[in-house]
Amino acid sequence: MPDYSTRTAHILSRIHELAAISEDATGATVTRRFGTPAFLKGRDLVQGWFEAAGLETRLDGIGNLRGRLASRRPRAKTFVLASHIDTVVNAGKYDGPLGVLMGLDLVESIIQQGLDLPFHLELIAFSDEEGVRFHITYLGSKVVTGAFDPALLQRIDADGITLAQAIDEMGGNTAQLAADALPPTEWLGYFELHIEQGPVLWESGVPVALVTAIAGQQRMELTWTGMAGHAGTVPMPMRQDALAAASEFVLATEAFALAHGHGLVATVGQLRIPYSASNVIPGQVIHSFDLRSPDADQLAAAYAGIQTQAEALAARRGVGLTWQLVQATAPVQCDHELNRLLGQAIAAGGYEVVGLVSGAGHDAVPASAVAPATMAFIRCYKGISHNPLENVEAADVAAAMAVAERFLLELKDAHN
Ligand code: HGY
Ligand code: MN
Ligand code: MN
């Protein structure tokens, strides 16, 4: 009988070792954005673990770490186990790395048992799922799935560095990105283990669930342009205050999402005021806008409705508005057959089979365009994520490990 609690303790000790590598030299917060020295140092650590497990590893052109366990079957397809090792800023320890390190443990166990699978296994630690540095998500998985648009190479980060420059500086190779794709004919499927990042499992006491769908999301950048002025001399009715306009927009979109419900969520997570000073009326405000829904029609209607509201608000306030759509991803359904097997594995563990829609985006989204894809969610502390309070119970990770290992063995039997 596998000793999942010992294996889980090993996974969690690696989680803490990786979390100690951060852009924050004080170590007080966990931040490893795509291509930064901290990201590269963390990836080196994980690559050492891949190689110690016996995986043949390589770094692809966009910096994904790829470990391959070849099947002895010559015409075998490839089943991908993956998640990401980049993080948001001031992140938790588990969003991404937990899926990679649980996947590594599953592969280590297969190698130790000397199992010959009827498919190649490729374990991938994606280099940029969060899209923090260039505001575009899934850069790593887009390369592996062949969905990477070369035009993205011209995107610039807050320091004016292009994605192409960042890739070159980290030792990547922009000329290789197309060749790094796993051809659609070679995919058998995709499976990702990830913390739920929501409260459902926490409240229900269920340790692990399957994912039925992943919400669609749109990422925008809005720029409000008013008139900078003296905070002491411009009468209130004469102001074209860009921050007041942006603030009204934030509250109006919050009210819009609350009023429409059904999984619609709207967030302004980043905002900057160029040339800001306490005694200057903000002349310009630039901010992000993240809009999501599991329902494509609701997402489209909300996008149009909120944009119309924003334009009317800008006109009323005499403020200019530019609304730039940065990225749009449609909602995706997870694969029914994989979920049938995953549901069997969950039930065999004695757990209620819970199916969840993910409000968070995941690399399973690009993967679902080329292969049957699904995910398993692990219960996390109060559903908190993108926050240092992110946490998991070892018992829940152990439960998910048992389910995932049973799922892989079912997959082996199904393709033998
Ligand atoms: O934004 C997301 O949903 C994910 O954390 N990248
Ligand atoms: Mn994630
Ligand atoms: Mn995340």
Q: From the alpha carbon of 95, which atom of ligand 1 is closest?
A: 5
Q: How many CB atoms lie within 10 A of CB 203?
A: 11
pLDDT in tens, 107-149: 999 999 999 999 999 999 999 999 999 999 999 999 999 999 9
Ligand 1 center to 197 CA (angstroms): 10
Q: From the alpha carbon of 217, which atom of ligand 1 is closest?
A: 3
- The reported pLDDT for the residue numbered 211 is 98
pLDDT in tens, 327-386: 999 999 999 999 999 999 999 999 999 999 999 999 999 999 999 999 999 999 999 999
Strand 280-281 and strand 187-195: pairing?
unpaired
Contact call for residues 87 and 73 (beta carbons, < 8 A): no
21, 132, 150, 201, 211 from 33: Cα distances, Å: 11, 7, 21, 28, 26
Residue position matching structure tokens 């929501």: 198
Q: From the alpha carbon of 292, which atom of ligand 1 is closest?
A: 3
Neighbours of ion ligand 2 (CB under 5 A): 95-96
Which residues, in sequence order, are CB contacts of 223 under 8 Å at separation 6+? 284, 285, 286, 320, 321, 322, 324
**pLDDT mean over 306-328:** 98
Ligand 3 center to 91 CA (angstroms): 8
- The reported pLDDT for the residue numbered 27 is 87
Q: Of 132, 219, 362, which is best to mutate to test ligand 1, by the most ligand atoms within 8 angstroms of its C-beta?
A: 362
- The reported pLDDT for the residue numbered 283 is 98
Which residue has a Cα nearest atom 4 of ligand 1? Answer: 361
Residue 262 scores a pLDDT above 90: no
Which residue has a Cα nearest atom 6 of ligand 1? Answer: 130
Where residue 400 falls among pLDDT bands split at 50, 70, 90? very high
- The reported pLDDT for the residue numbered 289 is 98
Q: From the alpha carbon of 386, which atom of ligand 1 is closest?
A: 5
Residue 319 scores a pLDDT above 90: yes
Alpha-carbon span 383 to 376, nearest angstrom: 15
From the CA of 138, the nearest ligand is: 1
- The reported pLDDT for the residue numbered 261 is 86
Q: Of 83, 86, 129, 196, which is best to mutate to test ligand 1, by the most ligand atoms within 8 angstroms of its C-beta?
A: 129
Q: Which residues line ligand 1 (CB under 6 A)?
A: 129-130, 137, 360-361
Domains of the chain listed by start with CATH number = 4-215+332-414 (3.40.630.10), 216-329 (3.30.70.360)
Ligand 3 center to 255 CA (angstroms): 25
Neighbours of ion ligand 3 (CB under 5 A): 95
Residue 393 scores a pLDDT above 90: yes
Residue 6 scores a pLDDT above 80: yes
CA 178 remoteness from chain centre: 22
Alpha-carbon span 104 to 11, nearest angstrom: 9
pLDDT in tens, 157-214: 999 999 999 999 999 999 999 999 999 999 999 999 999 999 999 999 899 999 999 9
Residue 395 scores a pLDDT above 90: yes
Ligand 3 center to 360 CA (angstroms): 7
Ligand 1 center to 53 CA (angstroms): 29
Give me the sign of the Cα torsion angle 385, 387, 393, 399. positive
Ligand 3 center to 336 CA (angstroms): 25
Which residues, in sequence order, are CB contacts of 39 under 8 Å at separation 6+? 32, 33, 63, 85, 86, 127, 170
Ligand 1 center to 389 CA (angstroms): 17
Alpha-carbon span 113 to 19, nearest angstrom: 30
pLDDT in tens, 208-221: 999 999 999 999 99
Q: Of 137, 265, 356, which is best to mutate to test ligand 1, by the most ligand atoms within 8 angstroms of its C-beta?
A: 137
Q: From the alpha carbon of 360, which atom of ligand 1 is closest?
A: 3
Q: Residue 285 is encoded by which pair of tokens? A: 């405000």
- The reported pLDDT for the residue numbered 154 is 97
From the CA of 91, the nearest ligand is: 3
Predicted TM-score of the model (pTM): 0.94
Ligand 2 center to 404 CA (angstroms): 18
